Structure 1
Amino acid sequence: MHEYGVSRETESPLDRPSGVSVGGPHVGDVPQPRLAYEYGAPMPSQGAVSSSAPSSGAPVQSTEHVSRETPAADEDDPPLAMEALRAVQILNPSGEIIMPRPDHPRVICVANQKGGVGKTTTTVNLAVALALHGNRVLVVDLDPQGNASTGLNVPHHAGVPDVYDCLIDNVPLAEVAQPVEGIPNLFCVPATIDLAGAEIELVSVVARESRLARAIAGHPEKFDYVFIDCPPSLGLLTVNALCAAQEVLIPIQCEYYALEGLNQLINNINLVRQHLNPTLDVSTILLTMYDRRTRLADAVEQDVRNHFGAKVLNAVIPRNVRVSEAPSYGQSVMTYDPGSRGATSYFEAALELAVRGVNTGGTA
């Protein structure tokens, strides 16, 4: 049993990084004033007593564990220069292939029946990171809310050909996929509100569980990665995604509630493996919304790593306001603010995902 609480010894950080914002079409805005604690600057020691802490005379217990959210900065480089270097590395204007390409297409289902754990954010940012570094990527938005389509700035209003047409009317996926503006090698199959009725309509359809798998297999172009963004449920749409994929990526929020439904998700994945898709494997676990100010985040991380072992990526996604702001501009955080902590974390996660896949023959 873990004792969860807020650490008094960790000062509340100013989580909003500043610097050169790449939001919208204006690149090269005037830099904003730097804040006291920011990404790239050395943080105060966790053993130090906060100046705002009450002087009760009680000893402050320091911990050896340093938050993985805290960057390892080179004190000789100014923070703004470091942020600019990270931005150039992530945007990759030279087009150099930094992330290795798999020897066969990897179809990855991003699933978790709990809402708000970062499924869509993870799908969008991993896809953009891989596409910016030489991989051909397709995103299939299987959530009726259409948030992945919004994050990639792909039209998904009523009347736009979408994944519903592929599932119900057998429209080829190639006729529905749209190129993502400004990101080479990235395509998106949007979702409209019509998809909300697909759960009911699929009930009476022949081979209802494998409709998406056949649509992806029938695409004339071969992609390095196909990411399927699932709705927060375990209905027929999610079952279609599990039947179409070889791998499952599960984003887990660093909160206690995120662990409660995990067993049911794993049980459903095992059922799909036994009866519908024997090649399916939970290949990757990604910890999201990590908040260094709480002991709860560390406790959840340790529980997940103890249970899933090497399946958990070393990269951890912190809570970052830039990640939340990016969709309002129709962008991923990779292009909205490539020097932010959120962009850096997703870049590291994408690189780790790509390297693991190559080292293990295509499965992370």
Structure 2
Amino acid sequence: MHQAETAAFLNHKGGVGKTTSVVNAGAGLTILGKRVLLVDLDPQGHLTDFLGITPDEYTGTISNVLRGDIHPRDTIVTRDLSARLCINGEESRLALSVIPADSNLAESEMSLAYRAEKEHLLKRAMGRISNDFDYILFDCSPSLGLISINALAAARKVFIPVQTEYLALSSLEGLLKKIEFIMDEVNQDLVIGGFIATRFDKRKVLGRTVIEALKERFGALFLDTIIRENIALAESPGVGKDIFSYRPRSYGAQDYLNLSLEIIGRAAADKNLFSVERGVITSNTDSVAAV
């Protein structure tokens, strides 16, 4: 039976590009022909706000799902990508599926602490819709509380975005200890999918130094794709769009397509599989199924 690949994006330091990475990796995977669900697990609802999702668009949130009030499928909001995909001359529209969050999630986290098997509520809920998707991506809160523990319990992989700045390495050590605890005590199948370098400016010596330190510390777990500092990435949440819909020819779009290729196990060098012109992303292969 088909089961979606599940991945949590986590860093207890804010401002590292976590939500940006979830949205744009999800959009990139969609462009690569995958069915993608994004789940907002942050009480601040950054992912929900990023995509411009408002309360009148949904009948429930992840809070309702975790409490068992509603089937997860009934909370999903669909977000069309402005970019179109062209395969063999046929254009098609692309869309992301999203389970939104709101401020009630913080209250739910406290009430769920008294539930049996409280660490596995999300895993059970996602199991009900796993057949509907190829990838389910969790946007975690910076706080490693019960909701984030649920994400790690439900995920097969955890990706850790790291801003290329001072103290990047030292701030990771505590996080890694907590993840290792989850691996030992809650989810023995969880593995680190990789460390994602974000907001990299090659003109800055510090950024280059941090990259080298990350490579030395984490080896093959440090992903090849480096997300460069790009004004389009900073602007896109303001218009409620992923980077491919907002600026498909930008460095940000190029980097997140490469990251998406890495996530599905293809080399970043395969970036030439696609070309972009006037918002139409054209596959340079016979089918995205080859990706």
TM-score by length of 2: 0.83
- Offset of residue 155 of structure 1: 2.5
1:302 corresponds to which residue? 212
Residue deviations 1:119-139 (CA, integer Å, cap 9, x gap): 100000000111122100000
What are the ranges of 5 or more consecutive residues in structure 1 without an aligned counterpart?
1-102, 358-364
2:186 to 262, 265, 276: 276
Residues 1:156 and 1:242: Cα distance change in structure 2 (over 3 Å) = farther
Is contact 1:148-1:229 (8 Å) kept? Answer: yes
1:336 corresponds to which residue? 246
RMSD of aligned alpha carbons = 1.9
- Offset of residue 348 of structure 1: 1.1
- Offset of residue 151 of structure 1: 2.3
Counterpart mapping for 1:60-79 below 5 A: none
2:173 matches 1:263: yes
- Higher gyration radius (CA): 1
Paired with 1:107 and 1:247, the residues of 2 have a C-alpha distance of: 7
1:43 corresponds to which residue? none
2:251 matches 1:352: no
2:40 to 141, 147, 151: 141
Paired with 2:56 and 2:162, the residues of 1 have a C-alpha distance of: 30
Counterpart mapping for 1:177-188 below 5 A: 177-182=76-81, 184-188=94-98
Paired with 2:145 and 2:156, the residues of 1 have a C-alpha distance of: 19
Paired with 1:305 and 1:189, the residues of 2 have a C-alpha distance of: 34
Counterpart mapping for 1:317-332 below 5 A: 317-332=227-242
Residues 1:244 and 1:220: Cα distance change in structure 2 (over 3 Å) = closer
- Offset of residue 150 of structure 1: 2.2
Residue deviations 1:124-173 (CA, integer Å, cap 9, x gap): 00001111221000000001111212223333479841000011234221
Paired with 1:299 and 1:307, the residues of 2 have a C-alpha distance of: 12
2:117 to 203, 207, 223: 207
Paired with 2:260 and 2:94, the residues of 1 have a C-alpha distance of: 17
Residues 1:334 and 1:187: Cα distance change in structure 2 (over 3 Å) = same
Is contact 2:9-2:160 (8 Å) kept? Answer: yes
Q: Which amino acid aligns with 2:29?
A: L
Task: Say which SS state the counterpart of residue 205 (structure 1) adopts.
Answer: coil
2:72 matches 1:173: yes
Paired with 2:259 and 2:183, the residues of 1 have a C-alpha distance of: 26
- Offset of residue 312 of structure 1: 1.5
- Offset of residue 186 of structure 1: 2.0
Is contact 1:158-1:194 (8 Å) kept? Answer: no
Is contact 2:163-2:199 (8 Å) kept? Answer: yes
Paired with 1:305 and 1:157, the residues of 2 have a C-alpha distance of: 45
Counterpart mapping for 1:11-50 below 5 A: none
Paired with 1:158 and 1:351, the residues of 2 have a C-alpha distance of: 31
- Offset of residue 196 of structure 1: 2.0
Counterpart mapping for 1:64-143 below 5 A: 104-143=3-42
Task: Say which SS state the counterpart of residue 159 (structure 2) adopts.
Answer: strand
- Offset of residue 285 of structure 1: 1.2
Q: Which amino acid aligns with 2:200?
A: Y
Q: What's the % identity of the aligned pairs?
A: 34
2:140 corresponds to which residue? 230
What are the ranges of 5 or more consecutive residues in structure 2 without an aligned counterpart?
82-92, 268-291
Residues 1:137 and 1:356: Cα distance change in structure 2 (over 3 Å) = same
More strand by share: 2
- Offset of residue 266 of structure 1: 1.0
- Offset of residue 199 of structure 1: 2.3
- Offset of residue 274 of structure 1: 1.0
Residue deviations 1:171-229 (CA, integer Å, cap 9, x gap): 22111111112463520000011112122112112211111000000116431111000
Is contact 2:199-2:229 (8 Å) kept? Answer: yes
Is contact 1:156-1:190 (8 Å) kept? Answer: no
Number of residue-to-residue matches in the alignment: 255
More helix by share: 2
1:23 corresponds to which residue? none
Is contact 1:172-1:219 (8 Å) kept? Answer: no
Q: Which amino acid aligns with 1:125?
A: N
- Offset of residue 296 of structure 1: 0.8
Paired with 2:44 and 2:31, the residues of 1 have a C-alpha distance of: 26
Paired with 1:170 and 1:210, the residues of 2 have a C-alpha distance of: 16
1:247 corresponds to which residue? 157
